[in-house]
């Protein structure tokens, strides 16, 4: 594909990061869509997009043959319906995380994505956070030996963020926000076979679900994991992540300018810690769009396709079920 990609962006709040990602890549921002006219105007003026390219109904993207790609950043409950409608119309779709909130919806998303030729990517943005990219590289190169334990967390205070759709019990904090930590762990060490979780509800009076959850996980032979999700925590946003290997340990997060690496000498004794500088870019929308555009232009597999996004949600659903039932749960990856 030699021509410039023509992009329509849906959802003008967090979705403005998709406008910037596509713009920075060099794509043409052809349409901006939001069913709230005030939000639409704000974004349109901010990015200098003429008013005749502002739309309030995403169906106008479906009927516009010139659009190649649509980005979807609207409440989680609508991801599957809107993405499937766009895919069926032949548009490539970059949709925000989480892929979906229910088992039924993840199955639908995988099925429709399999049936359609257009590409689908779920925006698991932590895979483009510089510190996490570095951690993944250190693990893949064997620098810290074999990983035997990985922990990550999603600690984010929703006290002011918790609007109506985030308070929906289907949008449990483990699925809506915790999917970041779960996806990061899956990306680095693979799919957990079993999870066991506890939850508490002490901080967010406006929700009916647990606002803190801890889950332990069993991976393959000799690998364990842990995820902590707190959507009411009294601290700044972080996804502190520690990866323990047989030859070293990585400590990193998404909001610090440095990460820490411990390595060992030939006798296995720990050497002084190393500090690695990293760029802080917690929402690397430019890289995310670039990776998706590369898959479209060069017809490559998509990094986080529907199945990959579905697996992350399957783990989150298993965590929620385990905390409710008090029993270990095996995530169902059969879709
Ligand atoms: N990757 C991340 O770190 C990250 C961060 C924040 C939000 N998100 C995700 O982005 C999505 C949007 O979150 P947000 O914080 O922007 O939500 P928001 O509620 O603040 O904004 C959603 C916007 O979408 C518009 N909208 C809703 N339904 C629409 C429809 N059918 N058609 C057109 N416009 C519609 C609303 O008017 C609003 O402007 C969610 O899926 C959320 O989980 C991801």
- Of all atoms in ligand 1, which is nearest to the CA of residue 95? 41
- Contact residues for 19 (Cβ-Cβ < 8 A; gap 6+): 9, 12, 29, 32, 43, 47, 71
In the reported structure, the alpha carbon of residue 82 is separated from the centroid of ligand 1 by a whole-number distance in angstroms of 12
Q: Distance (Å, rounded) from C-alpha 306 to C-alpha 303? A: 10
Closest residue to atom 33 of ligand 1, CA basis: 34
- Of all atoms in ligand 1, which is nearest to the CA of residue 58? 32
CB distance 74 to ligand 1 below 6 Å: yes
- Looking at residue 220, its pLDDT comes to 87
In the reported structure, the alpha carbon of residue 263 is separated from the centroid of ligand 1 by a whole-number distance in angstroms of 42
Tell me which of 55, 61, 74, 123 to substitute to probe ligand 1's pocket, judged by most ligand atoms within 8 Å of the beta carbon: 74
CB distance 11 to ligand 1 below 6 Å: yes
Dihedrals phi, psi of 243, to nearest 5 degrees: -125, 115
**Multiple choice CATH, 127-280+314-325, 3.30.360.10, 3.40.1390.10, 3.30.1360.200, 3.30.457.10:** 3.30.360.10
- Of all atoms in ligand 1, which is nearest to the CA of residue 78? 31
Closest residue to atom 23 of ligand 1, CA basis: 11
Q: Distance (Å, rounded) from C-alpha 192 to C-alpha 217? A: 6
In the reported structure, the alpha carbon of residue 193 is separated from the centroid of ligand 1 by a whole-number distance in angstroms of 32
CB distance 193 to ligand 1 below 6 Å: no
Q: What is the pLDDT along the chain (335 residues), one digit of tens a residue?
A: 567 999 999 999 999 999 999 999 999 999 999 999 999 999 999 999 999 999 999 999 999 999 999 999 999 999 999 999 999 999 999 999 999 999 999 999 999 999 999 999 999 999 999 999 999 999 999 999 999 999 999 999 999 999 999 999 999 999 999 999 999 999 999 999 999 999 999 999 999 999 999 999 999 889 999 999 999 999 999 999 999 999 999 999 999 999 999 999 999 999 999 999 999 999 999 999 999 999 999 999 999 999 999 999 999 999 999 999 999 999 999 99
Q: Distance (Å, rounded) from C-alpha 148 to C-alpha 86? A: 41
Q: What would the 3-class secondary structure string for the chain be?
A: CCCCCEEEEECCCCCHHHHHHHHHHCCEEEEEECCCHHHHHHHHHHCCCCHHHEECCCHHHHCCCCCCEEEECCCHHHHHHHHHHHHHCCCEEEEECCCCCCHHHHHHHHHHHHHCCCCEEEECHHHHCHHHHHHHHHHHCCCCCCEEEEEEEEECCCCCCCCHHHHCHHHCHHHHCCHHHHHHHHHHHCCCCEEEEEEECCCCCCCCCCCEEEEEEECCCCCEEEEEEECCCCCCCECCEEEEECCEEEEECCCCCEEEEEEECCCCCECCCEEEECCCCCCCHHHHHHHHHHHHHCCCCCCCCHHHHHHHHHHHHHHHHHHHHCCCECCCCCC
- Looking at residue 292, its pLDDT comes to 98
CB distance 97 to ligand 1 below 6 Å: yes
Q: Distance (Å, rounded) from C-alpha 250 to C-alpha 243? A: 5
Tell me the HSE value of 117 on the side-chain side, using a 13 A CA sphere.
Answer: 4
The CATH number given to 6-124+284-305 is: 3.40.50.720
In the reported structure, the alpha carbon of residue 78 is separated from the centroid of ligand 1 by a whole-number distance in angstroms of 10
The domain segmentation of the chain, as residue ranges, is: 6-124+284-305, 127-280+314-325
């Amino acid at each position: 594909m030699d021509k410039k990609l023509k992009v329509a962006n849906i959802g003008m709040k967090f979705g403005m990061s998709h406008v910037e990602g596509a713009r920075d890549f060099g794509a043409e921002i052809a349409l901006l869509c939001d069913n709230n006219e005030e939000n639409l105007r704000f974004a349109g003026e901010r990015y200098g997009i003429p008013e005749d390219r502002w739309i309030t109904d995403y169906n106008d993207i479906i009927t516009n043959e010139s659009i190649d790609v649509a980005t979807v950043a609207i409440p989680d409950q609508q991801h599957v319906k809107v993405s499937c409608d766009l895919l069926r119309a032949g548009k490539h779709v970059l949709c925000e995380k989480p892929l979906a909130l229910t088992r039924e919806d993840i199955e639908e998303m995988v099925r429709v994505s399999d049936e359609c030729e257009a590409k689908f990517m779920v925006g698991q943005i932590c895979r483009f956070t510089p510190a996490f990219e570095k951690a993944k590289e250190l693990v893949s190169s064997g620098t810290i030996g074999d990983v035997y334990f990985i922990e990550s967390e999603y600690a984010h205070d929703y006290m002011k963020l918790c609007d109506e759709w985030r308070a929906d019990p289907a949008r449990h904090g483990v699925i809506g926000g915790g999917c970041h930590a779960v996806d990061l762990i899956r990306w680095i060490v693979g799919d957990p076979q079993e999870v066991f979780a506890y939850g508490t509800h002490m901080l967010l009076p406006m929700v009916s679900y647990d606002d803190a959850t801890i889950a332990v996980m069993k991976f393959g032979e000799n690998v364990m994991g842990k995820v902590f999700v707190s959507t009411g925590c009294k601290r700044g946003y972080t996804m502190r992540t520690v990866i323990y290997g047989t030859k070293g340990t990585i400590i990193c997060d998404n909001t610090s300018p440095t990460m820490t690496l411990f390595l060992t000498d030939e006798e296995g004794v720990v050497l002084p810690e190393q500090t690695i500088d990293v760029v802080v870019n917690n929402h690397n929308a430019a890289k995310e769009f670039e990776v998706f555009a590369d898959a479209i232009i060069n017809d490559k597999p998509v990094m986080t396709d529907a199945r990959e996004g579905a697996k992350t949600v399957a783990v989150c659903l298993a965590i929620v079920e385990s905390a409710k039932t008090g029993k270990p749960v095996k995530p169902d990856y059969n879709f």
